[in-house]
């Protein structure tokens, strides 16, 4: 077996969170008196930390960004976290990886309390040794490399680990932490983004991901 520990991104990798994130962004922008951009632009909010996305995509200054994040979390706390669903076959994949002896850990830029709530709600938390996310009060903790390093430390990973994610941020964060990265195409990044970021392998679906992780 190539690896004994697998770090999973959450949004776009374990669950399809587009609806909840898009609705939360739309709510925040309306609260700030801004127009809501196209669906394609809204989808690009899935994955990266909000303190990067609001300035980059909406031209917000620091004060506006902080307010937008607060408004985003108001909607997400009430509704957005549940406007979400695991990808079809995800529970079966996670169960098979655990049965094969792999340790599974979540490493997400999403605030940890929301990540835990989502995974418990969909009965997926049982498959993970730890669920590691960012801290609400510390935006630097949402940096993907920081999340990955924290996850490795908290899970006391001493063997061979691999990162799985759907965006270039997952590839960069995993590589910065010294891990190989498997990109997945059923999320929101696409083949070009993942290949240009330097993903070590790319899986089109859960069957291919299972084969890569188990060395089939």
Exposed / middle / buried, residue 63 (Cβ in 10 Å: 0-12, 13-18, 19+)? exposed
Among residues 4, 9, 143, 156, the one annotated as catalytic is 9
46: left (phi over 0), alpha (psi -120 to 50) or beta: beta
Angle 176-181-182 from CA coordinates, rounded to 5°:
160
d(CA 56, CA 54): 6
**Rounded Cα–Cα distance for residues 137 and 153 (Å):** 20
Alpha-carbon distance of 97 to 215, in angstroms, equals 11
First to last CA, the chain: 9
Q: Catalytic: 211? A: no
Catalytic residues, which ones? 9
């Amino acid at each position: 077996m190539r690896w004994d520990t697998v770090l999973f991104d959450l949004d776009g990798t374990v669950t399809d969170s587009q609806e909840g994130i898009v609705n939360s962004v739309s709510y925040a922008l309306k609260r700030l008196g801004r127009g809501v951009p196209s669906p394609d632009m809204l989808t690009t909010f899935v994955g990266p930390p909000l303190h990067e996305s609001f300035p980059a995509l909406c031209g917000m200054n620091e004060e506006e960004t902080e307010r937008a994040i607060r408004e985003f979390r108001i909607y997400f706390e009430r509704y957005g976290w549940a406007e979400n669903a695991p990808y079809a076959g995800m529970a079966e994949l996670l169960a098979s990886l655990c049965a094969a002896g792999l340790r599974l850990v979540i490493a997400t830029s999403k605030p940890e309390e929301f990540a835990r709530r989502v995974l418990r709600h969909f009965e997926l938390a049982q498959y993970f040794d730890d669920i590691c996310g960012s801290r609400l009060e510390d935006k630097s903790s949402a940096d993907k490399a920081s999340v990955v390093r924290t996850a490795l430390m908290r899970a006391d990973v001493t063997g061979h680990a691999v990162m799985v994610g759907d965006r270039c941020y997952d590839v960069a964060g995993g590589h910065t932490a010294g891990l190989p990265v498997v990109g997945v195409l059923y999320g929101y990044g696409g083949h070009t983004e993942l290949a240009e970021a330097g993903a070590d392998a790319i899986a089109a679906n859960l069957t291919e991901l299972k084969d890569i992780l188990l060395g089939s």
